Chains A and B, each alone.
Chain A
Amino acid sequence: MSVKNLTKKFKRTVVNNISFDVERGNVYGLLGPNGSGKSTTFGMLLSTINPTSGDWYWFGERGTQPDTLKKIGAIIEQPNFYPYLNAETNLKIVAEIKGTPHTRIDEVLKTVGLLERKKDPFRTYSLGMKQRLSIASAMLNNPEVLILDEPTNGLDPEGIIQIREIISNIAKQGITIIIASHLLDEIEKICSHVIVLKEGNSIYCGRVDEMTANNGYFELKADNNTQLLSALEELQWFTSVKTEGEIIKAQIREDASISASALNQKLVEKGIFLSHLTKKKLSLESQFLELVKNTNYHA
């Protein structure tokens, strides 16, 4: 699927001119702080919200037709089911809408471990069970694309692990997944691509490893930190050199590539002997915070 210049304005602009492409079989993470337009973007792609302008294509077809939605499984915000109906009847309704045979119902209920509770009304379910039922419902039609909006929101650690396991199993089947989440380490584990939104603007769109590849940093320590500091600044390999307590952090420039041993050698030549040296990569979380912070200055 592909999204071009998608914009939604309520009283203010919520989603501003977003474009991205999603390729088959990949897992995409949609990142962004609360209120950055993630759910609104999903809403437009799922035809529940009318866009102000912009286009998108599902499987090469423009916009979202009801038939397109039958090839998509989606979980949005919170599990929505008829509270007075049991799991089985709720899924029968979904199966009717999607035109799926009713035999799939027991299969998906088994996948999410709810087969024993299928005769109980939905309102008696715990949040974790509700969330699992919505995954079952999204999987009912063997979708080609799965859209997950905060699938682990509000769950306890055990529930989060259960959901994560289910999702990674689905990802292994080669289904395209677009997942929005706050849990960045989770995105890092599951996703191959990320799209970062901030205040409705798309500020990064690409592979996860490329996002983390260029930027790395060194942690250094020497007996004479002042000498080390000035030596590092002379080297011009770094965008910033900061002292954090005993440790000096040196951010590697994007166009420079230096190994720890090369740096060590260089410093020895200058007569500086290190007591501590590690090369680190920023985690997705700090990358993300960095990105969000940086664009703040631009804005």
Chain B
Amino acid sequence: MLKLLKLEYYKNLNYRPFKIFTALYFAILTVLLFIGLVDLDVFGATINLKEQGIYNFPEIWNFTTWIVALLKIFLGLIIVFSISQEFTNRMFKQNTIDGLSRKEFIGSKLLTITIFTAISTLLVFIITLFLGYQYSTTTESAKVFEEIFFIGNYFVKLFTFFCFLMFLSVLLRKSMFVFLGFFVYWIAEGILTVIETFQKVRGLQEPERLKVMKDDFFITHLLPLESMSSLIPNPMMRLKTAKMMGLQYEFTYPVESLIACIVWSGIFIFGSYWILRKRDW
């Protein structure tokens, strides 16, 4: 464990893309969390997200984790660069010849992923607590911790996302291909979702259609990107403006998405290991 940690430390410490993106990520993350304090100019109207209640317990957990999760692509870039350079520099082969097992290789990358996810989660947790106690209308403990599960979901969401990128990096090996592959997959998943939805609601009239959309079970919702995004739903419905417009915010804890994410992480990790084993280097 310590050995793998040291390896990753030596490999990444002086790797420039790694340093740049790490610094950028944590800087932007911190700044973005304070976004509610400035007045935003949207279509000529001034919107202050703080006034809209994003810093109120318990919604704040939903808001902060959702906003910050948008930045995960930065950390994703680091993961992709750091893994794909092992292949483009033929270092995976060299490490293997030097006596690093495939398991240890995957283990060292998982360690990096876990550390990044943990630091990011911890940072969001601390800043959210700070902002909440500073600006929330209520600070009763019950309200404060009511939706703290979003922090856990955030961790799972990031971890699954990075495992997915690790899998793509091992599969495609060049960072350019990984990004292409990711976008192709993103679009493919979108198309599949549309197809399934279309098949379910075809020929149905308005009230039934809504009912099907709401209550039916969609297989495509269990696909990686979809289940990741349902872990933290878009919180814009919880803005005061949205509430005033009469939009209902309904939230049931996405158990099946959570399970799907954990299963996908497992598949990605073992898939990566399997590819490393089976391929000739």
Spell out A's residues near B (CB within 8 Å).
43, 46-50, 66-70, 74, 76, 78, 80-85, 89, 92-94, 96-99, 137
Contact = CB atoms under 8 A, between A and B. Distances in A.
B89 A83 contact: yes
Interface of B is mostly: helix
Contacts of A78: 90
Given A84-B15, A84-B16, A96-B3, A69 B10 contact: no
A84 B15 CA distance: 7
B96 A89 contact: no
A48 B98 contact: no
Given A85-B14, A89-B14, A46 B280 contact: no
B99 A49 contact: no
B93 A48 contact: yes
Contacts of A94: 98
A122 B234 CA distance: 47
Interface of B: 3, 6-7, 10-11, 14-16, 85, 89-91, 93-101, 104, 278, 280-281
Contacts of A89: 10, 14
A138 to B, nearest CB: 9
Contacts of A67: 99
14 contacts: A43-B280, A47-B97, A48-B93, A66-B100, A67-B99, A70-B98, A76-B97, A80-B93, A81-B91, A93-B7, A94-B98, A97-B3, A97-B95, A99-B3
B32 to A, nearest CB: 30
B10 A93 contact: yes
A93 B96 contact: no
Given A50-B278, A80-B94, 7 more contacts: A48-B96, A49-B280, A50-B280, A70-B98, A84-B15, A84-B16, A93-B7
Nearest to B5: A96
Nearest 7 CB-CB pairings of A with B: A69-B99, A80-B94, A66-B101, A48-B281, A70-B99, A49-B280, A97-B98
A80 B14 contact: no
A48 B91 CA distance: 12
B7 A66 contact: no
A81 B280 CA distance: 19
A155 B34 CA distance: 58
Given A43-B281, A82-B91, A96 B10 contact: yes
Max chain B C-beta neighbours (<10 A), residue from A48, A83, A98: A48
A263 to B, nearest CB: 53
A213 B114 CA distance: 63
B96 A46 contact: yes
Nearest to B277: A50
Nearest to A50: B280
B11 A93 contact: yes
A81 B278 CA distance: 24
Q: Which of B11, B15, B94, B97 has the most CB of A within 10 A?
A: B97
